Amino acid sequence: MNFLLVSLGGATGAIFRYLLGLAVMKRFSSPPFPFAMLVVNILGSLGLGVFYGVYYGAIPLGSYGEPAFLFVGIGYFGAFTTFSTFSTESVQLVQKKAWKPLFCYISLSIIGSVMMFVLGFATMKEL
């Protein structure tokens, strides 16, 4: 059952990541850095923070057996956000020697994702 929950959540998250990425790329066709993945990862971090705040009211430890965590936390948001694509796109910017876009992309991705997670979690925990 756990594999099914992770699989269904992952499939859903991957589809939504793909659709959001397409929408962002359509709206911003020539950004200076991989803007679509930045948006996806920041929104995914916000969403995971909101989920933790609403469902747990804390950062869960040892919740690998809970159905909601398996579906939403691991499956959906695990597939929605992507560190591997972030890494690939960062290396592509290095190969192009696009240092300023690289710095912006890495900084905004890491700091923005952490800040949005904290914002989502703190906001929902208080409700």
Q: Report pTM.
A: 0.93
pLDDT tens series, the chain, 127 aa: 999 999 999 999 999 999 999 999 999 999 999 999 999 999 999 999 999 999 999 988 888 889 999 999 999 999 999 999 999 999 999 999 999 999 999 999 999 999 999 999 999 988 7
- 81 annotated binding-site participant: yes
Give the pLDDT confidence score for residue 60 in this predicted structure. Answer: 86
Residue 28 per-residue DSSP state? S
Give the pLDDT confidence score for residue 126 in this predicted structure. Answer: 80
Distance of CA 3 to the CA centre of its chain: 21
Distance from the first to the final alpha carbon of the chain: 31
Residue 83 per-residue DSSP state? H
The H or E element containing residue 119 is: helix 99-125
- 78 annotated binding-site participant: yes
Give the pLDDT confidence score for residue 62 in this predicted structure. Answer: 80
